[in-house]
Every structure is written in C-alpha cells, then in structure tokens.
Amino acid sequence: MTTSSSLKTALVAAVLAPVALVFTGCSSNQVRNVDSKGPQALNTSGINSQDWANAADQLVGSLLSSGALDKVPNPPAILAVDRIINNTQAQVDTDLLIKKIRVALSQTGKVAITNTMGLGERAVVASEAAELDELTTGKKAKLSTPAYTLYAKLIQQSDRINSVTQNTYSFQMSLISVKSGLTVWEDEREIAKQSKKAVMGW
C-alpha cells in the first residue's frame, strides 16, 4: 500500500466517522423526564398541562376571594359537581380541570364534595355502598344535601389570519345555590394561543 493510498483511507474514515455518529444519534430514542407544569413542558396549540393548572388556579382563586363558600350555616359547604360541557374540538377528559379544582377546594377545608350524586367519580359505587348499608343495617342512609352545585363549560374559538392561527379557550364556571337556585358565583378565564404555520411544509 502506498503512502498516498493510506492517507486517502484515513481521510475517508475521518469523514465517515462523524457522519456515522450523527446517524446513530438520530436513531436513538432520547427520553427525559420533565415537570409537567414547568418551563420545559411542551407548548402546543391545544390545552396543555400548564393551561389546565393555570385555569384551575385562577378559577379557584376567584371563587375563594368571592367569599361565596363562607355563607353556609354549617361549614364545610357540601358541593356536588354538575355537568362539565366540553365544546372544544379536542376530546379531553374534563377531569383534567375539575379534579384540580376539587382537590384545591377540598384542601381549603371549606368544601366537602359529595360523591352520591352528580359527576362524582365514584358516584355509582358510593350509591351502591349506601344501598348495601341500608340493607344490612335496616336503617335509611342519611345523605347530606348539597348546598351548592358546580357547573362548568369549556369553549374553543379559532381565528385565522394568513398563516397565524389563534385558539382561544374559555373556561366558564358557575356555583349555584341549591336552596335558592341562584348563581352565587361565576367567572370565566381565557387562554389564547397563537401558532404560525411554517413556510416550508416539512
């Protein structure tokens, strides 16, 4: 083998080695854990984990600041979760919002959420358990009547100008007094997200 041929081989190897490394890097599946509510969470045109938490935080803050829950004679106020209407284009589990609100309100100690009616996640089991209790003890179960019901609606409005699309998500929530049927608190929070379509299609 001549000196020039060895040099050529070394040069080709030097060029090919980084290329091979790049391709190896591309083929590997890189996974990392991120805080779902942290800055590294993906921001998409849909409602992401931060948006749910943000909406829940603002609605809970508004509800607690209103003092509406303090007007029951025997606290904690018993709350039943009513329908959650999802009028967005996304098929989302509304518990992403409602569960956060339920947990937050429960932690305040001002609210007890009933599971024997409404959209309580264990409503069926709770009702069956109450029936079984009636059968075994022979005593009629004494269920607490809710003081309030909570109703929510999610709405999406999409606007588009040229390549920019704006999705505005409205989170509407109302607290209704069972005794009077009156809305004692309601609020709406909006999150608007703009996305721009890339000029190149790939």
Partner 1 sequence: MNSPQRLLVRSLLAAGALAALSGCATNVNTVERAQPQATPDFVADKRVVTDNTLARTVRVNAINQATVSGNLLKVQATLENLKNNPRNIRYKFEWIDQSGMAVNSPTETWKTLMLQGRETTMISTVAINPRAVDFVLKLSEYKE
Write out the residues near partner 1 by the rule CB under 8 A. Answer: 37-39, 49-50, 53-54, 56-57, 60-61, 64-65, 67, 69-70, 99-101, 103-105, 107-110
Structure tokens at 10: 């070394």
| Beta bridge partner(s), residue 189 | 171
Q: What are phi and psi of 171, to 5 degrees?
A: -110, 105
Q: Please, which residue, 70 or 128, has the CB nearer to partner 1?
A: 70
Residue 56 CB, nearest distance to partner 1 (Å)? 5
Residue 172 CB, nearest distance to partner 1 (Å)? 17
Residue 186 CB, nearest distance to partner 1 (Å)? 17
User: What distances in angstroms separate CA 147 from CA 31, 50, 59, 87, 167, one per listed residue?
Assistant: 47, 31, 19, 27, 36
> Using CB atoms within 10 A of its CB, is residue 111 exposed (0-12), middle (13-18) or buried (19+)?
buried
Q: Please, which residue, 9 or 108, has the CB nearer to partner 1?
A: 108
Q: Please, which residue, 18 or 109, has the CB nearer to partner 1?
A: 109
Q: Please, which residue, 107 or 183, has the CB nearer to partner 1?
A: 107
